[in-house]
Amino acid sequence: MKHLLVTGGAGFIGSNFVRFVMRHRPGLRITNLDALTYSGNLENLRDLEGEPRYRFVKGDICDRTLLDSLLKDVDAVAHLAAESHVDRSIIDSGPFFRANVIGTQTLLDACRAAGFAEGSGKRFLHVSTDEVYGSLPLERKDLLFTEVTPIQANSPYAASKAASDLCVRAAQHTFHFPACVTRCSNNFGAYQFPEKVIPLFVTNLLDGKQVPLYGDGLNVRDWLHVEDHCDALLTVLEKGRFGEVYNIGGNNERSNLELTHLILQIMGKDHSFIRPVQDRPGHDRRYAIDSSKIRRDLGWEPTRSAWPSALESTVKWYADNRAWWERVKSGEYQTYYQRQYGAR
């Protein structure tokens, strides 16, 4: 791999992934293609400005002409661009199906036209989510999602991601397209947009505000540190078998209530800071991942996700980077692109 195209590299996982790959693969060039929607924030990658191996391109994965020009000498693609927030997909699903389905299919078509085929040496990684599998019952702790669990997406977000997974599968099956799919559990870490539960709760508490807890708080998620996810993505991109799906998870199941109590404890706050709110419609009860395949076949292991230390260091990151999230919450970060690139 000499030249990697990352889509969605200005988002939470994408920016961590770009930084992770720059650090661990010093011979590699990266082009970061991102439309800078509300969740894309170039300030996440401020430290890479001026780095000759890194280039940012503002653009849309639905723009075939742009993709054709960018893919000319690219030999690997890590596809992370997506609309990603379930609550927003419930309010308006249109942008989700446009970006996640049409965008993915456009990217696949452009890659095929640019010579992505088995034997070409080119590789494609499609970054998906455990949410495509639907929900597990709380009382069946023995059940975990495996790679052959049926797709039973329950939210418009999950449905759009499941559809994008099937676009990749169809390309693999019909055209021997050289792709792998990953399905990961919930990520936490630095630079996460503060609409998602951990940065939302931490930044609210740092401002002395209450945290809105959905329903009875008993919904369970598996939590993985974003750098462990990045490590898994790079592993699959380099070593994954074409046509395979790899689940990625941290064996770290927590109810939202347990997560909230731990954040309150870390931040020295009492339970009066919890504000119960009406549950999300169709809220999946439990996600739990069996990630034995990637561990066994590709040798990946999470090393940065252990609680409480990983959650403590994440809380500390938001406490230490108040300027970053204040600019996100105020919308000020959206002027950064104009200032940085507007006159170029």
Ligand X SMILES: NC(=O)c1ccc[n+]([C@@H]2O[C@H](COP(=O)([O-])OP(=O)(O)OC[C@H]3O[C@@H](n4cnc5c(N)ncnc54)[C@H](O)[C@@H]3O)[C@@H](O)[C@H]2O)c1
Any catalytic annotation for residue 157? yes
Q: Which is nearer to ligand X, 53 or 85 (CB)?
A: 85
What span, in angstroms and rounded, lies between the C-alpha atoms of 248 and 146? 10
Which of 4, 5, 6, 10 is the binder for ligand X (CB under 6 A)?
10
Which of 60, 228, 253, 284 is the binder for ligand X (CB under 6 A)?
60
Q: Which is nearer to ligand X, 61 or 211 (CB)?
A: 61
Residue type, 57: V
Q: Is position 151 an interface residue for ligand X (rule: CB under 6 A)?
A: no
Any catalytic annotation for residue 191? no
Q: Is position 62 an interface residue for ligand X (rule: CB under 6 A)?
A: yes
* Beta strands, E only, 54-174: 54-58, 76-79, 123-129
Q: Is position 84 an interface residue for ligand X (rule: CB under 6 A)?
A: yes
- Least spacing, CB of residue 229 vs ligand X, in Å: 7
Which of 28, 37, 151, 251 is the binder for ligand X (CB under 6 A)?
37
How many residues contact ligand X, by CB under 6 A?
30
Any catalytic annotation for residue 118? no
What span, in angstroms and rounded, lies between the C-alpha atoms of 261 and 62? 42
Tokens 């439309």 appear where? 35
Q: What is the DSSP-derived secondary structure letter of residue 300?
A: -
Please give the structure tokens belonging to residue 231.
């490590």
- Given the residues 54, 133, 157, 191, the one annotated as active site: 157
Q: Identify residues 215-244 at the interface with ligand X (CB under 6 A).
A: none
Q: Is the peptide bond before 308 cis (omega within 30 degrees of 0)?
A: yes
- Least spacing, CB of residue 268 vs ligand X, in Å: 27
Binding mask 95-114 for ligand X (x = CB under 6 A): ----x---x-----------
- Given the residues 83, 130, 228, 231, the one annotated as active site: 130
Q: Is position 260 an interface residue for ligand X (rule: CB under 6 A)?
A: no
Q: Is position 160 an interface residue for ligand X (rule: CB under 6 A)?
A: no
Task: DSSP for 195-249, please give it.
Answer: TSHHHHHHHHHHTT--EEEETTS--EEEEEEHHHHHHHHHHHHHHPPTT-EEEE-
Q: Is position 294 an interface residue for ligand X (rule: CB under 6 A)?
A: no
CA 86 to chain centre: 13
Q: Is position 161 an interface residue for ligand X (rule: CB under 6 A)?
A: yes
CB 74 within 8 A of CB 4: yes
Q: Is position 80 an interface residue for ligand X (rule: CB under 6 A)?
A: yes
Q: Is position 82 an interface residue for ligand X (rule: CB under 6 A)?
A: yes
Which of 5, 18, 30, 36 is the binder for ligand X (CB under 6 A)?
36
In sequence order, which residues have a C-beta less than 8 Å from that of residue 56 and are 6 or more positions away? Answer: 9, 10, 31, 32, 34, 42, 45, 341
Q: How far apart are the first and last CA of the chain?
A: 29
Q: Is position 13 an interface residue for ligand X (rule: CB under 6 A)?
A: yes
CA 219 to chain centre: 20
Binding mask 179-218 for ligand X (x = CB under 6 A): -----x-xx-----x-------------------------
Long-range own/partner contacts, residues 144-148 (CB < 8 A, 24 or more apart): 144/288, 144/289, 144/290, 145/183, 145/247, 145/287, 145/288, 145/289, 145/290, 146/247, 146/290, 146/293, 147/183, 147/244, 147/245, 147/246, 147/247, 147/293
- Given the residues 60, 83, 131, 227, the one annotated as active site: 131
Angle at which helix 103-113 crosses helix 156-175, to 10 degrees, equals: 20
β-bridge partners, 77 = 5, 124
- Least spacing, CB of residue 186 vs ligand X, in Å: 5
Q: Is position 11 an interface residue for ligand X (rule: CB under 6 A)?
A: yes
Which of 1, 28, 35, 267 is the binder for ligand X (CB under 6 A)?
35
Residues of this chain that bind ligand X (CB under 6 A): 7-8, 10-14, 34-37, 39-40, 60-62, 80-84, 99, 103, 127, 129, 161, 184, 186-187, 193
Active site residues per annotation: 130-131, 157
